Chains A and B, each alone.
Chain A
């Protein structure tokens, strides 16, 4: 069965500290992995996708097929990073998306 696991519901870090939001997945084929973010009072939006291999707002995520993980990292957290982060998975062709339960990140000034 397809599943996305985000083990931390809440995560607090101090401004300037490194941050890592964990995501593990299970999928029988070759998935595409995404991170979506929802800032306060805004709609859900794409942060980054693994096939793009981009760094967005200082965030990166590497797909580790051996560990079936797609952790989101940023070396120096900023206050504006405070938001809800969702890891998501889709199969090739994008018929379905599976979202994790989300991690609420708070960056303490």
Chain B
């Protein structure tokens, strides 16, 4: 079956613009995670969804970042007023349920803010 997919694979934008990054999890996976990976670093937790609700958004760096998962499947990470420091690879992962901790990762979206 299909794995986790993310679109776009690359996004270049200008400082101050708004961007949306999309994640399609594996069908039936109730848990969905967003991470940010800067150069030379490991993935940094941003937000975790269980179904439609954000169960833990403590990793979102500030209020410019927001994520939704309205139907409990596809999720969108939204970044307002982008800054150069937002440049990173944004990873999405899903798992069957939060107590089954193997996460399946997408290929990531590389965001570049000029």
Contact = CB atoms under 8 A, between A and B. Distances in A.
Interface residues of B, number: 29
Q: Bin chain A's interface residue count.
A: 20 to 34
Contacts of A9: 40
Interface in A79-97: 86, 88, 90, 93-97
Contact of A46 (B35, B102, B107): B102
Contacts of B90: none
From B35, B42, B43, B91, name the one whose CB has the most chain A CB atoms within 10 angstroms. B42
Contacts of A88: 42
Nearest to A101: B42
Contact of A102 (B42, B45, B95, B105): B42
Contacts of B98: 93-95
B101 A49 contact: yes
A100 B102 contact: no
